[in-house]
A and B are shown apart, each in its own frame.
Chain A
């Protein structure tokens, strides 16, 4: 799908250049501005420029990257036979989503909203998304979705060799290999690792960063060529190369058959995909002459490779949000005419679009600190960093726009919700005059609760106003510079993304707006 980047910002441009706008009253102008902004945001989503999680309507573009990612993840977990390109309304896909939701203890509606998307992220992506322990059901062990995720992870990391290992015996065999690897690499907490599905073992299995650090430590290698460490190291390399943007696919992903590399096979370079990716990696990291040899010697010298990965992980973790935002904005701003190509690349990445972003940011940071360094996988990594940064800002700005009427209604409500004469009442008069009545016999806890709610409501309204003001101001600058296509919107979002994200932390989800007397979301 090709994107027309000359489109975009049409409504906003018309408004900004309209000479009669100054004649309107401020609230009329605000209405026109918010409406134009909302129309352009909707158009960006409709045209597939941004792919936010749909709230009620299915995406128009059936090959939208999010949909591909959802299918790929469901297929990896065994809920779909394969990623057969099913459209969002296909009964097979809806059935698969419902089964996943049921197994994960989520609302079973067959729709991937924020909660289901987050669950898929936590259970499938490699960069830590949250506490994997939350998928255990009390003392009753893991939920069914976690069992499948464990089976997938064991397969991806070369610890099992069939995709149907979510049976207890298969899981136990894979976890036994994990135990051997953990003991050999002397990983922290290795004594708690058992060949069974328990929180400590599963936390380690999903801690990709810790596993990388273990492989980077450089312990003497085992003499036994069949030791699970070798297959594990090779499969971990595949994952890290995939996350870094190289042409290689982890086992179990995108229909990949299992392949168990042994030291002998690696020496012979028979896993051509892994071999080529490793050689490319070393070449891009300044080892042009030695790159084939370094790839061939991977089985014996893999710690050096994982030390490079560790450096990117650490650099990513040490990157402040403002520094990251400025770095990405600078990168995109240098060649704005390249944005269409950047977008095209980003939207073709599938699941990789939503994984390994911390590593990519760390890689970029290290790169910018080494003048003359080769741009490793520049197309893919820059693309997904730029897309993700702009997308995050887009989603927050869209939420601010949607929630604005409800938040405004709350902020200027004469009697804030929760007023109770037994504890506290608040009256908000026309201009900004508040009268607060505190009952001396009231419960301080109830009073504090009400007070906190008033503070949250005001902070949320202020955050929405600030985000919208930032968008209006920056887009106005873009329009005045003649950047009226989608590039203008993207550059504007990138420029203020760190500020939008900072305000976005105070943007509470709007309460149900469908109740009687409530204003609808915009």
Chain B
């Protein structure tokens, strides 16, 4: 089974899937870093607008866009952000300095991205006066495009555009080169600080047919490692796929389920601990946490066409078969079987005795799903 709809060799469709996964990955990076939703896309768009004012060519602007989009992916797995790390605030600050370099290493592995993207991610937090991180580059050692990324970051973070203008002016010669700060001022005065969100430049991606699937697997691995549950999605996916086959789910539902097993963990990034650590997966007590995680993961995926069906499966994975689940309280026929499979597979992964799932048949779980899943688990064992 291919993870994304068969594109029949259409490179544009392969690029579109990859672009969706990249945009989702960027949003996941923001979630791990504690940035608000949509931050990466806004940052990328402002940076590209600044580069336009500075007459950057198309190739440079495309690299800059992807660097902005993926600016925070280094936070996934960073010691200052990941679960279970007990480090001092000082050590955490030092660890956070490595986020750009860690993100850069990931970008360098994504062959489809423009080559310049990785180093823009690496140097996005460098400061003109040499006090930035990770490399403490200074002056003209920092590529101008990386400075635009830094300016865009500061602008998007600012609570008020006029305040941002004042701050950029204060930072001229310190955080930003005087020329770059001047470019920002020109941009601000010519646009009033307004900007449009840019579309992903699909033509700039050099996507192999399996690139999107490869990236999604890689991202899911990183998310699990971040959440302190390495390899979890792979176990859940194997079980869910076998169960889906036994239940006779159609190809579209099976594909969406496979995507869902890879993206549901992103919803736990904001939580202080991994799901199932505090509450038994079969207890009603943990239902709010599960629903919160499900909603967060679905919100991250829903804006991206290639992941939309999977998002709906994830969104409903804390619903109960009897209609008493959360967040919407849907059940029985209204609850997609794929959501039931995902929910049971996730619960199974954190149970010490698999047969305990049977106690929740008809209440939490679909009566058709649990026997099929236990059978699949037995066969795999």
Q: Is chain B a partner of chain A in the same complex?
A: no
Chain A residues in the interface with B (C-beta under 8 A):
none
Residues of B within 8 A of A (CB): none
